């Protein structure tokens, strides 16, 4: 698991191309949007004499408060123009380059401080006032002599939320919005699936006061230290603001509402408001965008409730980007490299969008259809008329294990295409001998592998079939190390053990009907692999290789051919717990033929919210239920021939996540004294066939990858 919510970069705080086309792919060769001659940093070459700047415009609001704005217009503007504005808590000055760019392109552009931030009046209450204030700003701007009555909005993250909050109130002069990486309040912030994270306090510190605390916010070593301190002192989550030195009423108010959708839904458009949206919308997000859940929530709700005509004017772009990359695409994210086609000139795309909608220009050439999706591995763009059309179907892979169990990446279970033939009644030879909560095999305590290192710190390439011999390695009765033989032709793994029969043959261990692991909230060993910030969070394997007995791992057989996936994974697990509540984290990886790893997607689930995010249903210990993990982020990738899929299931125990101590109490206020160890059984038999559903891509990407073949994740 990467640290949830990667740090905001300089690109984020200064955010940063007709007729219906044929479905197809754009690769870097031959398409101008991927050409290297585009600039993708925040310093745009706008001649200083091309733009007039007016500092300190005051926008009146209905309650008498005034917002501060800086106005950028083409020099010697003689006729009114469409106006574009961004509403930001990160200081209007940070968007100076954007103002210069869009003014030079023929628009009036305003950078506006939200209420209570920067030079604006009033009190800043995160998210609460932006819809009403945005509405008032639109209507005031439309009356200004330099505006032709058409007003648009621009921006990402918080400024993406602003746009939806404003659009839901339907100001008459709002011509279009282009929300990027939009925060979904109660969807992905300040919690994901009702599980919050320590980044919340990092962000609240960033926006504490009236001006951004940029240096403090970006000091990642400082924040790792603060989060480790909170974790190692075993403090309740509600004391996090005290630990970091910034007691905060917003933080305390937010954690008072653990069922986050109930508290935040008032800020989201209602079904009726989605149905009433009739303005063109351009939505952007990324595979690794922390706010992808929010961005796609807005998009899907509009598709569900909007009219056919309105939905036809809503375009969606999903690139290979992380959160800041949705404004300034980079050639590498988290250790994973992308082809030139990924580096779209997004400011030019927005410019062309506004020209199309407000100045009767041509539709941006990049928008060949209503949905554009980038396929990593192939390094191509594909197009479809809807997001559903991107996915052709799903392939179920069923969990299975033998006497080796599934306790680590080095002693993993299998993902197979047919359900297990083991009866739930018999449970296999090994299962009947194990009491719930007794680990069959735990990860050796002296193996601490981070970023491909094992124990001594020597770099290694770790493949799924690699055998690690350690203190508690599995041995036979004669003391021989029972090495993993690797996959057989069916992709199933066996443990080769001495056979006591007279033939001397080696027999595979019998299949079992369940695997199990234990999560002890008082186990602080995971902090040993979270001592410093790390950048390669997509390709780093430290979490998968260091479970500390808290988790199970399953591998598929090697893929016989390149395989395109696009959509959302879905995981159905039959689970038994002995506590009333705990949290789960499920992560899917591609394991390359050389043992390198690419994190594809992950989902989290709190057991008490397994049926609904708005109602608690505590677990009855000892019962077996099916848990559905259906909120994996969207991913699109060409999996390489010879790669495997890896599924890791565990309970989050990290400095970056709110810790569930399993007592069934208020998770934000649980203490270490209330902690209970959770023993988790994962069943996979004929009656309880746990499975991972893999989204298979529709044939939208027909062209070969433009990047050279390489086994390195950084260029894969």
Residue partners of 253: CB distance under 8 A and separation at least 6: none
Its sign, for the CA torsion 68, 72, 76, 82, is negative
Binning pLDDT at 50, 70 and 90, where does residue 436 land? very low
Give whole-number Cα distances, 554 to 308, 393, 394, 416, 681, in Å.
43, 22, 18, 10, 14
What is the Cα–Cα distance from 200 to 646, expressed in whole angstroms? 30
Average pLDDT over residues 51-80: 96
Q: Residue 715's pLDDT is what?
A: 53
Whole-model pTM: value is 0.85
Question: Contacts from 456-459 at CB under 8 Å and sequence distance 24+?
Answer: none
Neighbours of 616 (CB within 10 A): 18
Average pLDDT over residues 133-144: 98
What is the Cα–Cα distance from 331 to 564, expressed in whole angstroms? 21
Strand residues in 117-271 grouped as ranges (E): 147-153, 155-156, 174-176, 179-180, 191-192, 195-196
Share above pLDDT 90 across residues of the chain, in percent, rounded to a whole number = 77
Range name among 52-61, 108-117, 399-408, 618-627 with the lowest pLDDT average: 399-408
What is the Cα–Cα distance from 341 to 301, expressed in whole angstroms? 29
Average pLDDT over residues 389-410: 95
What is the Cα–Cα distance from 648 to 417, expressed in whole angstroms? 18
Its sign, for the CA torsion 654, 604, 564, 35, is negative
Identify the CA nearest to 692 among candidates 598, 587, 581.
Answer: 587
User: What are the pLDDT digits (tens) for 287-308?
Assistant: 999 999 999 999 999 999 999 9
Cα dihedral: 386, 388, 391, 392 (round 10):
-100
**Residues 50-63, buried b or exposed e (16+ Cβ, 10 A)?**
ebeeeeebebebee
Q: Residue 77's pLDDT is what?
A: 85
Q: Residue 506's pLDDT is what?
A: 52
Q: Residue 511's pLDDT is what?
A: 87
Backbone angles phi, psi at 148, to 5 degrees: -90, 10
Q: Which residue has the higher pLDDT, 713 or 460?
A: 713
Please provide the distance, in angstroms rounded to a whole number, between the alpha carbons at the two ends of the chain: 20
621 has pLDDT over 80: yes
Angle, helices 346-358/96-104, rounded to nearest 10 degrees: 50
User: What are the pLDDT digits (tens) for 680-716?
Assistant: 999 999 999 999 999 999 999 865 444 333 344 555 5
Question: Checking phi first, is residue 178 left (phi over 0); if not, alpha (psi -120 to 50) or beta?
Answer: beta
Backbone angles phi, psi at 416, to 5 degrees: -125, 160
User: What are the pLDDT digits (tens) for 329-378?
Assistant: 999 999 999 999 999 999 999 999 999 999 999 999 999 999 999 999 99
Q: Which residue has the higher pLDDT, 644 or 24?
A: 644
Binning pLDDT at 50, 70 and 90, where does residue 78 land? confident
What is the Cα–Cα distance from 471 to 391, expressed in whole angstroms? 46
Give whole-number Cα distances, 205 to 6, 195, 623, in Å.
15, 20, 43
Q: Residue 423's pLDDT is what?
A: 79
Residue partners of 359: CB distance under 8 A and separation at least 6: 82, 106
Pairing of strands 371-375, 314-322: parallel
Identify the CA nearest to 341 among candidates 699, 605, 17, 18.
Answer: 17
Name the helix (H) or strand (E) containing 64: none
Range name among 135-149, 349-363, 448-462, 648-662 with the lowest pLDDT average: 448-462
Share above pLDDT 70 across residues of the chain, in percent, rounded to a whole number = 80
User: What are the pLDDT digits (tens) for 262-283?
Assistant: 999 999 999 999 999 999 999 9
What is the Cα–Cα distance from 352 to 347, expressed in whole angstroms? 9
**Residues 481-515, buried b or exposed e (16+ Cβ, 10 A)?**
ebebeebeeebbbbbbbeeeeeeeeeebbebbbbb
Range name among 35-44, 275-284, 462-471 with the lowest pLDDT average: 462-471
Average pLDDT over residues 462-479: 29
Q: Residue 708's pLDDT is what?
A: 33
Give whole-number Cα distances, 481 to 304, 383, 433, 578, in Å.
57, 52, 22, 33
CB 584 within 8 A of CB 604: yes
Q: Residue 713's pLDDT is what?
A: 55
Give whole-number Cα distances, 132 to 138, 169, 252, 449, 716, in Å.
10, 7, 24, 50, 45
Maximum Cα–Cα distance across the chain: 99
What is the Cα–Cα distance from 192 to 657, expressed in whole angstroms? 10
Identify the CA nearest to 328 among candidates 95, 637, 29.
Answer: 95
Q: Residue 49's pLDDT is what?
A: 84
Q: What is the mean pLDDT of the chain?
A: 84
Q: Residue 492's pLDDT is what?
A: 35
DSSP 8-state code for residue 240: H
Identify the CA nearest to 659 among candidates 188, 7, 198, 246.
Answer: 198
447 has pLDDT over 50: no
What is the Cα–Cα distance from 65 to 119, expressed in whole angstroms? 12
Binning pLDDT at 50, 70 and 90, where does residue 510 land? confident
């Amino acid at each position: 698991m990467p640290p949830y919510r990667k740090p905001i970069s300089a690109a984020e705080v200064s955010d940063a191309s007709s007729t219906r086309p044929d479905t197809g792919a754009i690769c870097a060769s031959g398409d101008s949007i991927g050409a290297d001659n585009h600039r993708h940093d925040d310093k745009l070459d706008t001649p200083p004499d091309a733009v007039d700047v007016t500092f300190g415009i005051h926008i009146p609001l209905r309650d008498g408060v005034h917002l501060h704005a800086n106005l950028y217009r083409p020099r010697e503007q003689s006729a009114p123009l469409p106006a574009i504005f961004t509403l930001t808590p990160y200081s209007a000055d940070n968007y100076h380059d954007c103002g210069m760019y869009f003014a030079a392109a023929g628009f009036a552009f305003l950078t506006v401080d939200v209420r209570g931030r920067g030079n604006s009046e009033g009190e800043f209450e995160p998210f609460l006032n932006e819809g009403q204030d945005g509405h008032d700003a639109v209507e005031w701007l439309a009356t200004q002599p330099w505006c032709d009555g058409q007003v648009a909005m621009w921006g990402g993250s918080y400024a993406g939320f602003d746009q939806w909050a404003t659009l839901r109130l339907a100001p008459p002069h709002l011509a279009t919005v282009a929300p990027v990486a939009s925060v979904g309040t109660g969807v992905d912030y300040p919690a994901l699936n009702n599980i919050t994270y320590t980044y919340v306090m990092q962000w609240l510190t960033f926006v504490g006061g009236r001006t951004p605390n940029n240096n403090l916010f970006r000091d990642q070593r400082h924040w790792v230290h603060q989060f480790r301190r909170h974790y190692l002192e075993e403090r309740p989550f509600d004391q996090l603001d005290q630990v970091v030195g910034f007691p905060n009423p917003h933080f305390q108010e937010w954690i008072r509402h653990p069922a986050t959708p109930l508290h935040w839904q008032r800020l989201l458009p209602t079904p009726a408001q989605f149905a009433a949206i009739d303005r063109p919308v351009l939505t952007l997000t990324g595979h690794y965008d922390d706010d992808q859940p929010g961005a796609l929530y807005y998009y899907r709700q509009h598709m569900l409730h909007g009219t056919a005509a309105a939905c036809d004017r809503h375009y969606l772009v999903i690139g290979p980007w992380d959160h800041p990359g949705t404004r300034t695409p980079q050639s590498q994210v988290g250790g994973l490299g992308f082809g030139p086609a990924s580096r779209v000139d997004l400011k030019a795309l927005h410019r062309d969008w506004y020209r199309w909608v407000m100045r009767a220009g041509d539709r941006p050439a990049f928008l060949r259809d209503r949905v554009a999706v980038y396929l990593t591995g192939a390094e191509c763009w594909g197009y479809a008329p809807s997001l559903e059309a991107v996915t052709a179907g799903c392939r179920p892979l069923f969990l299975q294990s033998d006497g080796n169990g599934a306790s680590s990446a080095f002693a993993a279970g299998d993902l197979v295409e047919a359900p297990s033939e083991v009866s739930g009644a018999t449970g296999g030879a090994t299962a009947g001998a194990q009491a719930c909560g007794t680990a069959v095999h735990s990860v050796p305590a002296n193996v601490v592998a981070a970023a491909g290192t094992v124990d001594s710190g020597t770099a290694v390439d770790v493949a799924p079939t690699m055998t690690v011999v350690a203190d508690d390695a599995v041995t036979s009765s004669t003391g021989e190390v029972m090495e993993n033989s690797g996959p057989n032709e069916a992709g199933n793994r066996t443990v080769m053990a001495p056979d006591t029969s007279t033939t001397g043959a080696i027999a595979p261990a019998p299949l079992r009907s369940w695997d199990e692991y234990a999560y002890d909230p008082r186990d602080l060993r995971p902090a040993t692999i979270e001592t410093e910030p790390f950048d390669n969070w997509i390709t780093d394997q430290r979490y998968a290789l260091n479970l500390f007995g808290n988790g199970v791992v399953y591998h598929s057989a090697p893929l016989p051919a390149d395989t395109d996936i696009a959509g959302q994974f879905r995981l159905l697990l039959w689970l038994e717990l002995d506590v009333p509540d705990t949290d789960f984290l499920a992560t899917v990886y591609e394991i390359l033929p050389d043992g390198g790893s690419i994190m594809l997607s992950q989902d989290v689930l709190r057991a008490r919210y397994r049926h609904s995010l708005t109602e608690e249903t505590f677990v009855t210990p000892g019962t077996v239920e099916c848990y559905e993990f259906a909120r994996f982020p969207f991913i699109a990738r060409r999996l390489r021939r010879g790669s495997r899929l890896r599924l890791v299931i565990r309970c989050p125990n990290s400095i970056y996540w709110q810790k569930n101590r399993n007592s069934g109490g208020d998770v934000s206020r649980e203490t270490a004294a209330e902690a209970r160890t959770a023993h988790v059984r994962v069943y996979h038999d004929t009656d309880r066939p746990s499975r991972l559903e893999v989204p298979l891509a529709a044939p939208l990407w027909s062209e070969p990858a433009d990047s050279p073949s390489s086994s390195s994740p950084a260029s894969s």
